[in-house]
């Protein structure tokens, strides 16, 4: 199965207020394994970069001034995405911005049914924990040492590793630990299924009642094979044993 993990960087938080996408990074997965194929592009937003946004991703007006506008390379992006499911962290944000840009250049919106939100998956699997990309990297041992600032391609590559862990790790469906909670991804408009709890092993120590019942059962056997040799004595049954047997 082909899936695309993606991330965007923008001029702000709300495309409805005029904010634009300035970077997108995509990572291809086949059967939850990175293939090495990626798509990465910067875009000239046609507006000044707010300082607070530049502090987050480091993309300045000067750097973006010679980059193409979104509509100039949109076909390359759509060819890479094809009709694959799209995975993002806090996916409603990235999905909203991506569809806004597609609409601005006359392309069809991507339906919500194609979107998988790793933030929702993390909240279901780790209730009460932190769910930022950095926190999930720490939880799953993903190296984020190169993440000095937000970057769409690097963040998509980190998220691809986290997504694999959220969906069962490298050996999906073969987890043995009692705390393992494999989870299949779900489209964002559906509730993410609760993790399945494994059945804990039953203790091997038998109870006093079980021991008494076994002794009573053995005592009633006629000519058991193991009694044909020397050194075997028929077990005795006390009154306490007999009362337990009829309780």
Same domain, 147 and 213: no
Count of CB atoms situated within 10 Å of the CB of 67: 17
**Is 214 contained in some domain?**
yes
Residue 19 annotated as binding site: no
Lowest mean pLDDT among 127-131, 197-201, 204-208, 214-218: 197-201
| Closest alpha carbon to 220 in 243, 237, 208 | 237
Better-scored residue on pLDDT, 95 or 172: 95
Looking at per-residue confidence, does 212 or 25 come out higher? 25
Has residue 220 been placed in a domain?
A: yes
Q: Is residue 193 part of a domain?
A: no
* Pairwise pLDDT comparison (126 vs 219), residue with the higher score: 126
* Res 233: pLDDT: 56
Q: d(Cα 100, Cα 94) in Å, to the nearest integer? A: 10
Considering the domain architecture, whether residues 128 and 60 belong to the same structural domain is answered as yes
pLDDT-based confidence at 232, cuts 50/70/90? low
- Name which of 68, 62, 65 is nearest 24 in CA terms: 68
pLDDT for 116 beyond 70: yes
Domain holding 140: CATH number?
A: 3.30.420.10
Residue at 110 is within a domain: yes
- The 3-state DSSP class for residue 89 equals coil
- 155 is annotated as contributing to ligand binding: yes
Is residue 45 located within the same domain as residue 101? yes
Q: Is 9 annotated as a binding residue?
A: yes
Radius of gyration of the chain (CA): 30
Residue 171 pLDDT: 52
14 assigned to a ligand binding site: no
Residue 239: inside a domain: yes
**Within a domain: residue 181?**
no
User: Which pLDDT score, from 0 to 100, does residue 239 have?
Assistant: 46
77 in any annotated domain: yes
Average pLDDT, the chain: 84
Whether 96 maps to a domain, the answer reads: yes
CA 97 from centre of chain: 23
- The parent domain of residue 47 ranges over 2-166
Give the contacts of 13 (CB within 8 A, at least 6 positions apart): 19, 93
Strand order in the sheet with 2-10: 33-42, 21-30, 2-10, 86-88, 115-117
- 161 and 54 share one domain: yes
Structurally, the chain folds into a number of domains equal to: 2
Please write the tens of the pLDDT for every residue from 6-24. 999 999 999 999 999 999 9
What is the C-alpha separation between 141 and 162, in angstroms, rounded?
9
Catalytic residues, by residue number, are: 150
Taking 50 as the threshold, does the pLDDT of residue 180 lie above it?
no
pLDDT value at position 227? Answer: 66
On whether the CB atoms of residues 23 and 9 are closer than 8 A, the answer is yes
Tens-place pLDDT, residues 122-178: 999 999 999 999 999 999 999 988 876 789 999 999 999 999 999 987 654 444 444
Pairing outcome for strands 33-42 and 21-30: antiparallel
Looking at the fold, whether 37 and 153 belong to one and the same domain comes out as: yes
Q: Has this prediction a pTM greater than 0.85? A: no
């Amino acid at each position: 199965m082909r899936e695309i993990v993606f991330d965007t960087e923008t001029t702000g938080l709300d495309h409805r207020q005029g904010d634009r996408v300035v970077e997108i990074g995509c990572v291809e997965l086949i059967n939850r394994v990175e293939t090495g194929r990626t798509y990465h592009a910067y875009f000239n937003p046609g507006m000044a970069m707010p300082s607070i946004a530049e502090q987050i991703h480091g993309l300045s007006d000067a750097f973006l001034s010679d980059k193409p506008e979104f509509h100039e390379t949109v076909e390359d992006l759509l060819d890479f995405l094809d009709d694959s499911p799209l995975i993002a962290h806090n996916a409603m944000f990235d999905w909203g911005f991506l569809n806004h840009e597609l609409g601005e250049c006359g392309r069809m919106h991507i339906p919500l049914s194609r979107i998988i939100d790793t933030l929702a998956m993390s909240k279901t699997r780790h209730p009460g924990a932190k769910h930022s990309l950095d926190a999930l990297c720490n939880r799953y041992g993903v190296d984020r040492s190169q993440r000095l600032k937000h970057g769409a391609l690097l963040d998509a590559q980190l998220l691809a590793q986290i997504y694999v862990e959220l969906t069962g790790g490298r050996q999906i469906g073969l987890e043995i630990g009692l705390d393992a909670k494999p989870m299949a991804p779900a489209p964002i408009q559906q509730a993410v299924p609760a993790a399945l709890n494994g059945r804990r092993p039953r203790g091997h120590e038998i109870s006093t009642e079980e021991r008494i019942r076994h002794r009573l059962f053995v005592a009633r056997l006629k000519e058991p094979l193991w009694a044909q040799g020397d050194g075997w004595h028929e077990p005795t049954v006390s009154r306490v044993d007999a009362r337990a047997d009829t309780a």
